[in-house]
Chains A and B, each alone.
Chain A
Amino acid sequence: MSYELIGISVLWLFLYGYLIVASIDFGAGFFAFYARLTKRDHLINRLISRYLSPVWEITNVFFVFFYIGMVGFFPDTAYYYGSGLLVPGSIAVILLAIRGSFYAFENYGSKNNIVYLFLYGATGLLIPASLSVALTLSEGGFISEQGETVSLDYWGLFTDPLSWSIVGLAIVSVLFISGSFLAFYASRAEDHSALKLMRSYALFWSTPTIIIALTAFIYLGQHNERHFQNMMDLWWLLALSVGFFMTAMWLLYGGRRYGLAFICIMLQFFCAFFAYGIGQYPYILDPYITIQSSVTSPSMGFALVVVFIGGMCLLIPSLILVFRLFLFDADYVKGMK
């Protein structure tokens, strides 16, 4: 396997990891705020903060990891995406900054401030929306290069149904993933009132998720024929994704095996996300950047893979430790530690 293929697979895996952990985090912010508005915050706030407080920084690192790795393996991406994304990227940075710091301020400093909670909830939906712009750009047609200048076609971006359906998909899947995770966490904590609420949120957001996913898929077909065809060739992955979705719905609806339901949802997104990624191959940015054309030098590729393996040897045991201490320690989850 060549370095560029290893590189893009690893990065895609990390982006998927970020998708899951960040969705839990972003959705939790929205649910916390919404529950406060509807005066049900006493049911779930403690649950949310018990899981999120020890791991919020880790979530952030997943993201940094992804794009530093991206620039490392494929330096050309910095040029095109960097130039094109100056404004949406900076907005995402500002939102991330507001969210991260205000979350910490609220959680470790002054408590129960409605302004912080609002910022926490609002950014939870705006960040996925602003980050998903990068996915839309990769389909091509929005970035143009004239001589030395790379520019972004904002009007095209704002009027294209594809970009809006991707934004919509990002937001509803965040709420769906987060809702089902928190339902699972509540069931572990044996917190029945929180479980009831989170289960209803998860069930509610499942329908828009699947509808918008189909809509986005159709618009993708109109925008980028090649990508659409490639994904159709991977129909079995998409079918698997739908299958996992059905299983998860069945489990959630039946109100049991919440852990298994969440795993099914993770697999649902895994299949869809990889079908999307493999379908885009070999392009990173249609038509300017392909994986082969932009890859870094072999010696750097080798060094990055070595560091990656070494880093994983450190990280995986540490992550297991975190999960054992905070996620699978029944006493901690129930609030006894």
Chain B
Amino acid sequence: MDVDTVLWSRLVTGMTLGFHVIFATLGVGIPLMIAIAEFIGIRKKDHHYTLMAKRWSRGFVISVAVGVVTGTAISLQLALVWPNFMKLAGNVIALPLFMEVFAFFFEAIFLGIYLYTWDRFKNRYIHWLLTIPIVAGAGMSAVFITTVNGFMNQPGGFTMEGGQFTAVDPVQAMLNTATFSKVFHVLSSAYLTSAALLAGIAAFTMLRKGVSGYHKKALKLMMGVVLVFGLLNTSTGDLSAKFLAEHQPEKLAAAEWHFETESGADLILLGWLNAEHEVIGALHLPKFLSFLAFGDFNAEVTGLNEYPLDEQPPLLVHYLFDLMAGIGFALLGISLLYFLFVFWKKRNELNKWLLRVIALGAPLAFLGVELGWFYAEIGRQPWIIRGYMRVEEAATTSPSVRILFFLFLLLYIVLGAVFVLVLRRLFNNNPAEAEMEKWMQHAGDNTTEKGEHER
């Protein structure tokens, strides 16, 4: 089999997923933020929050558009680039894929209604209620698709007979051992990242244009969400590590450069490897890996050398893991610092340095998501279905896949560039303050609002 087409297949899929995950994260996370803002706006009768919901949802649609089309791309690519995988696994993963489409359908319907009915209901809570199916649909599609990924890591719910999956139990395949920790980590990181992004935008705008009531409120609200989901995210991350230690020890061992099985294993931060696979220049936290993995400083952690060489994941994943975890803690730290400043009267929580750090948190959060996914996926190599099918057995044999890589690369560059341009035009030419003023002038006059969401 031609190694080259396999590598190109990997690259096409990796690139598409890497691009899609940005918009998928936004697609899962932002609706919750919109729902929270609109609810507070109605509750407190504070127009700033309602405006937040409106402006966020306007930006959100644009990102949904890119998310939808890249999502369509990846779901088709599954069959186009990995035909053998789909032929084998289609028997088992069809159910969650199908359910994901339903969840997405549900979300799509209500998103359309939500966007075009801002002023159609007398009771404003009715319009707010429309966010519930959107948040639920977005969350559920993440849940279902993550169960598919869970299955690829921890296949179950079938028996293997003559190269075919038989006696399939689709529900058991969905509720595989990896699903639980994965789902919660994916959801919490999506909410964390979206909140970090919106907080970062508010901080960035205040840095450039000075403090304003609207952005101050947005920052505080989103930092609160960052704090909550930062805490949740670290605990679900811990859960995932414990899952790995028990069920996928080679992935954890590769991430920690843990070669020899031993009890009381050290946690290794950064560093590098020499030719003899010895760790140099790393920070060792004695016995912490055992604690991280099993909640016991003296527990035995399986080492990578227990696995045959051709079943070991690449050792590069160590850096991905360390950076992802580092970013997770950094985001939590930033939000803690912010609230420390808020409650500690002598300090100004809106000082330039803190705002800069918060603004930096937004791209960092996305980097964290990317690193986390790359760790999860590269850490599973060489398997596509762990223990059952290797990646090179699953890929297409068509040499055209190389050309397609460049075609898709071009597509994503164009999409990404236009996405940024459109968002800039949408928000830079129409700052929140100006929009608020325009809006307040027309308050009470119901007819003027309508033009806004039409062409």
Contact = CB atoms under 8 A, between A and B. Distances in A.
B401 interface: yes
Contact of A94 (B91, B397, B398, B408): B408
Given A58-B105, A109-B422, A318-B109, A72 B94 contact: yes
A64 B65 contact: no
Contact of A76 (B65, B87, B115): B87
B80 A90 contact: yes
A71 B397 contact: no
Interface in B90-136: 90-92, 94-95, 97-102, 104-106, 108-113, 115-117, 120, 133
Nearest to A336: B450
B211 interface: no
Contact of A105 (B62, B109, B168): B62
B75 A300 contact: no
Using C-beta atoms within 8 Å of the partner chain, give the interface range for chain B. Answer: 35 or more
Contacts of A89: 76, 80
Residue in B79, B92, B108 with the greatest tally of chain A CB atoms within 10 Å:
B79
B80 to A, nearest CB: 5
Contacts of B264: none
B105 A315 contact: yes
Contacts of B340: none
B333 to A, nearest CB: 35
Contacts of A99: 69
Contacts of B170: 299-300, 303
A46 B116 CA distance: 15
B84 to A, nearest CB: 7
A111 B81 CA distance: 36
A58 B112 contact: yes
A6 interface: no
Interface string A67-81: 111011101101111
A83 B62 contact: no
Interface in A281-337: 296-297, 299-300, 303-304, 307-308, 311, 314-315, 318-319, 321-322, 325-326, 335, 337
B171 interface: yes
Nearest to A295: B91
Contacts of A325: 113, 116-117, 120
B43 interface: no
Interface string A84-113: 011101101110111111111101111100
Given A58-B105, A89-B76, A101 B94 contact: no
B397 A149 contact: yes
A54 B115 contact: yes
B65 A100 contact: yes
A224 interface: no
A225 interface: no
Nearest to A64: B101
Contact of B455 (A96, A107, A300, A303): A107
B18 to A, nearest CB: 15
A85 B80 contact: yes
A81 B425 CA distance: 42
A223 interface: no
Contact of B97 (A60, A71, A104, A311): A71
A98 B95 CA distance: 29
Nearest to A74: B90
Contacts of B423: 109
A307 B120 CA distance: 33
B47 interface: no
Residue in A96, A100, A148 with the greatest tally of chain B CB atoms within 10 Å:
A100
A109 B421 CA distance: 9
A78 B90 contact: yes
B105 A105 contact: no
Interface of A: 45-46, 49-50, 53-55, 57-58, 60-61, 63-65, 67-69, 71-73, 75-76, 78-83, 85-87, 89-90, 92-94, 96-105, 107-111, 148-151, 296-297, 299-300, 303-304, 307-308, 311, 314-315, 318-319, 321-322, 325-326, 335, 337
23 contacts: A53-B115, A57-B64, A63-B72, A64-B72, A68-B98, A71-B78, A71-B86, A72-B94, A78-B78, A82-B79, A83-B83, A85-B80, A86-B80, A86-B401, A93-B77, A97-B70, A296-B91, A296-B168, A297-B91, A303-B170, A304-B94, A307-B99, A325-B116
Please provide the 7 A-B residue pairs with the shortest distance between their CB atoms, ordered closest to farther: A72-B94, A75-B90, A104-B65, A78-B86, A82-B83, A109-B422, A82-B79
